[in-house]
């Protein structure tokens, strides 16, 4: 992972919320929340909250007595999330998952949707999640499966290779789809100190949009792929190439592609 892969600027945050959230993140919010919440949960921490799609789902699904703290490394993402708001108050806080600023055993559940792929050291980040969990608490996180099983991302990546053949942008394959190996995820959790085997559910959903233009803009403008493109050439040209490739594969009208992810649930039983 490049050091820049985890940087989401204000411009990216707006496109991320407008395009990426409904395209690929909303379908996985409810399943993550359902796995994290239990009748005895009183304190929930979300890490890598992004623009708050899971935060909003947590606020809707939980009792008002449940405390929700939502964090992200990038303040621009939290600013976007706070501007949208939630059904009831939550606490927004900028925080690095590698060094969580919370006391040991502070939470009954830790939730992270599609953030683990960005951690520079997953074992360290997982150990931080375990540290702030109370005994018996749940760590629930999701990661994308192989890029080949996520059709829009795969198509856009191939299109970028055609535009920049000598140095193709590989952000989507390298980082969002770079943490799909179940055996590696299981090993990292064990090394982080989780004493039980995780439950890993591979969940397939559909990504739908009114035209190929939407996923083209989503991936080229609403992720750090944008920075890779702009470092090489023209963003509009690359977006148009992505749109053309998506149209050729999925048609000129509404588009519908497969997305696939792993949802991991592990209980904090020490080794």
DSSP 198: P
Q: How high is the pLDDT of residue 7?
A: 52
Residue-averaged pLDDT of the chain? 94
According to CATH, the topology of domain 3-267 is Rossmann fold (3.40.50)
Asked whether 30 and 119 are in contact (CB, 8 A), the reply is no
Alpha-carbon distance values, 149 to 31, 184, 205 (Å): 19, 18, 11
Token pair 């994290």 is found at 36
* Contacts for 192 with CB less than 8 Å, ≥ 6 apart: 122, 123, 124, 126, 127, 129, 130
Question: To 10 degrees, what angle do helices 235-250 and 225-232 make?
Answer: 120
The C-alpha angle with vertex 176 and arms to 7 and 35, in degrees rounded to 5, equals: 105
Q: Where are the domains of the chain?
A: 3-267
Q: How high is the pLDDT of residue 15?
A: 84
- For each successive 10 residues of the chain (271 residues), what is the average pLDDT? 53 84 96 95 97 97 96 93 96 97 98 96 98 97 98 98 97 96 98 96 97 96 93 97 98 97 94 64
Whole-angstrom distance, CA of residue 68 vs CA of residue 109: 10
Alpha-carbon distance values, 50 to 44, 205, 257, 266 (Å): 16, 20, 23, 22
Q: How high is the pLDDT of residue 5?
A: 47
Question: Which one, of 107, 157, 97, lies nearest residue 133 by Cα?
Answer: 107
Alpha-carbon distance values, 246 to 45, 69, 223 (Å): 37, 38, 17
Question: Which one, of 119, 152, 121, 157, lies nearest residue 25 by Cα?
Answer: 152
Whole-angstrom distance, CA of residue 194 vs CA of residue 35: 17
pLDDT tens across 128-155, in order?
Answer: 999 999 999 999 999 999 999 999 999 9
Whole-angstrom distance, CA of residue 92 vs CA of residue 19: 22
Q: How high is the pLDDT of residue 1?
A: 54
pLDDT tens across 53-83, in order?
Answer: 999 999 999 999 999 999 999 999 999 999 9
Q: How high is the pLDDT of residue 13?
A: 80
């Amino acid at each position: 992972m490049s050091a820049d892969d985890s940087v989401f600027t204000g411009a990216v945050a707006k496109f991320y919320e407008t395009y990426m959230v409904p395209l690929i993140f909303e379908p996985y919010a409810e399943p993550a929340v359902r796995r994290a919440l239990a009748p005895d949960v009183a304190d929930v921490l979300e890490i890598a909250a992004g623009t708050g799609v899971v935060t909003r789902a947590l606020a809707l699904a939980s009792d008002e007595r449940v405390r929700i703290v939502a964090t992200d490394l990038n303040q621009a993402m939290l600013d976007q999330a706070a501007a949208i708001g939630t059904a009831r108050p939550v606490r927004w806080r900028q925080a690095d998952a590698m060094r969580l600023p919370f006391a040991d055993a502070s939470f009954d559940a830790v939730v992270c949707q599609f953030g683990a792929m960005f951690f520079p050291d997953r074992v360290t980040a997982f150990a931080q999640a375990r540290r702030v969990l109370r005994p018996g608490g749940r760590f629930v996180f999701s990661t994308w499966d192989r890029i080949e099983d996520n059709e829009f991302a795969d198509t856009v990546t191939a299109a970028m290779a055609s535009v920049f053949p000598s140095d193709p942008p590989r952000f989507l394959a390298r980082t969002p789809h770079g943490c799909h190996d179940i055996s590696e995820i299981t090993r990292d959790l064990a090394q982080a100190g989780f004493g039980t085997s995780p439950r890993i559910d591979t969940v397939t959903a559909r990504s739908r949009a009114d035209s190929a233009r939407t996923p083209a803009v989503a991936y080229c403008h609403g992720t750090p792929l944008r920075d890779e493109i702009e470092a090489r050439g023209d963003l509009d040209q690359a977006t148009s190439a992505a749109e053309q490739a998506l149209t050729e594969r999925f048609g000129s009208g509404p588009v519908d592609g497969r997305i696939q992810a792993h949802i991991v649930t592990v209980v904090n039983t020490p080794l």
